[in-house]
Each structure stands twice: as structure tokens, then as C-alpha cells.
């Protein structure tokens, strides 16, 4: 089991493993900036890193991780690593090959979580490749990303391993209530990506006003709202100041009224 930083609460997955509730996202970050962002995040206390084959950054993410393991900042078993298989043109065999490729690029011997990135092409076939990796103990947990109720129901007809996680776009103006409730019903944990609406919410007046009451930023309020919903959140930044700020969300709580106000925000 992963050892989770005392500052980082975790959700328990249906596989029994713990997934830290905050991770560093790496979408649209490549090269030196993402390598440094991962190093900074791990030094700050993050113990969850999210990447994907299609982000074209697994090598640099792995270098950042292994630099901090080498420096004694953490051990591999302290860390939760998520990556994703791109489904277009994929199948059971190619999915397993993709996971082997990710292991090589990240320079690790196992992955904590692998997701089917989108419900496209033969996603049920692709998911079977993830099940093979799970059976071979290359992956501790498997799941999906961007799946709604209908896609989950289609996958349900053939899955042998219930997805541990569904990673979907969630932020205060996109609360995803229906999908979250359905996943909860099936024992699937939910990760919210783009939790700040790809940056659109960092100066939102509603979030800013709530933040002032807690001496927190609008971004911290948006992230805390996800924590209060028992979701996992993966804000992305390559700026050390923001990476630090995003991590400082475990020393305050939102009131029920504040949670509802955020929940009811419209785009």
C-alpha cells in the first residue's frame, strides 16, 4: 500500500489501494518544465502524479520522479503514478504494449493506475488489455477516463475487473452530479481533471468571495470543493508558486452553504 503524506488524505479504491486526493497534473506540459514541475511537486509533498501516453511527457515525468527518489525525497512505494492508454486504433494487444512502453518511459516496475483515456474506437477491447496488465501485476488498479453512464454500461457487459477510477472533467461550473453518483453506486472512485476550468475560474467572483472568508484563493476554494465531495483532484501547473498553493487545501473546510453555492455555479 502507498504511504500517503500526512498532509494528503486519500480515497480507498475498490482494489484496496489508497489514492492521494491531490495529484500534480501534467497535461500540456512537456520537456524541462514538466520534469521540474514533478520534482517541485514531490519536494512540496505531493505523492500522486498524473500523466498519459498522449501527453508525450512520460519520459520527463519519469526523470522527475526518479531524480527525487534518487535524492531520498521519497521511495517508489510512497508514490501513486497514473497514466493512460490512448484508445484510437488500439486493441487488447496494443493496450498491453502501450502499458509496457509507459513502464519503460517512466522507468518504473509497476504502475498504480492505468486508464482508457477516452471511450473511443474499441474501448471494451482496449480495456481487456488493461485487465491483462492487472492480471500480470504490472498495474495495481485500472479504470477509465471521460466515460459517462452510457459508456460505463457498455463496458460493463464485458469487464471482468470493475474500474477503480473514472477520471472526468469536473469544476464548479461542471459538477457532473449524474456521473459521480453513478460511479459511486458502482464503487468506482472519481478523479476530477481541469478543476479550475482550465484557468477560467482563478478570478471567479463567487470563489474569490468565499476564499476571502478563509484567507484562501479562488483556486484553493475550487480544489477544496472537490476534496469535500470525496473526489480526487489533479490541478496542473509548472509554476512552483501555484503548485505549492494548490497543495495548501487541507487546513480549512467549506461550510455546507458554501459547498452548495459552489455546486450551483453556472458557466
DSSP assigned state of 4: P
Give the bridge partners for 174, in sequence order: 171
Whether 252 and 7 have beta carbons less than 8 Å apart is answered as no
Task: Take residue 55 and report the three cell numbers written for it.
Answer: 501527453
Nearest Cα neighbor of 58 from 33, 92, 39, 34 is: 34
Whether 127 is catalytic is no
Q: With the C-alpha atoms ordered 163, 164, 168, 172, is the resulting torsion angle positive or negative?
A: positive
Whether 158 and 152 have beta carbons less than 8 Å apart is answered as no
Chain Cα centroid distance, residue 215: 26
Write down the catalytic residue from 46, 53, 55, 127: 55
Euclidean distance between CA atoms 208 and 222, whole angstroms: 10
| 117 annotated as belonging to a binding site for a ligand | yes
**String of b and e for 146-168 (b: at least 16 CB within 10 Å)?**
bbeeebbeebeeebebebbbbbb
Whether 179 and 150 have beta carbons less than 8 Å apart is answered as no
Give the bridge partners for 82, in sequence order: 50, 113
DSSP assigned state of 78: G
The count of residues in the chain is 267
Active-site positions read 55
Known binding positions: 117
Known binding positions for substrate: 117
Amino acid at each position: 500500500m502507498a504511504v500517503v503524506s500526512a498532509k494528503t488524505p486519500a480515497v480507498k479504491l475498490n482494489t484496496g489501494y489508497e489514492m492521494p486526493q491531490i495529484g500534480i497534473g501534467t497535461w500540456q506540459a512537456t520537456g524541462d518544465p514538466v520534469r521540474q514541475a514533478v520534482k517541485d511537486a514531490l519536494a512540496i509533498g505531493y505523492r500522486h502524479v498524473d500523466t498519459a501516453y498522449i501527453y508525450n511527457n512520460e519520459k520527463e515525468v519519469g526523470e522527475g520522479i526518479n531524480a527525487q527518489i534518487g535524492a531520498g525525497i521519497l521511495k517508489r512505494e510512497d508514490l501513486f503514478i497514473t497514466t493512460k492508454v490512448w484508445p484510437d486504433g488500439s486493441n487488447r494487444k496494443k493496450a498491453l504494449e502501450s502499458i509496457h512502453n509507459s513502464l519503460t518511459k517512466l522507468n518504473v516496475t509497476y504502475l498504480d493506475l492505468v486508464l482508457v483515456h477516452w471511450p473511443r474506437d474499441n474501448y471494451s477491447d482496449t480495456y481487456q488489455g488493461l485487465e491483462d496488465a492487472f492480471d500480470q501485476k504490472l498495474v495495481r488498479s485500472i479504470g477509465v477516463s471521460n466515460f459517462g453512464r452510457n459508456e460505463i454500461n457498455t463496458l460493463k457487459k464485458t469487464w471482468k475487473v470493475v474500474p477503480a477510477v473514472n477520471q472526468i472533467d469536473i469544476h464548479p461550473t461542471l459538477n457532473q452530479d449524474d456521473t459521480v453518483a453513478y460511479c459511486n453506486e458502482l464503487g468506482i472512485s472519481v478523479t476530477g481533471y481541469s478543476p479550475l476550468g482550465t484557468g477560467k475560474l482563478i478570478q471567479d467572483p463567487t470563489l474569490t468571495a468565499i476564499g476571502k472568508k478563509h484567507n484562501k484563493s479562488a483556486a484553493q476554494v475550487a480544489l477544496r470543493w472537490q476534496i469535500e465531495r470525496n473526489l480526487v483532484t489533479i490541478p496542473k501547473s509548472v509554476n512552483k508558486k501555484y503548485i505549492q498553493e494548490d497543495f495548501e487545501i487541507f487546513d480549512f473546510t467549506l461550510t455546507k452553504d458554501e459547498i452548495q453555492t459552489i455546486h450551483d455555479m453556472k458557466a
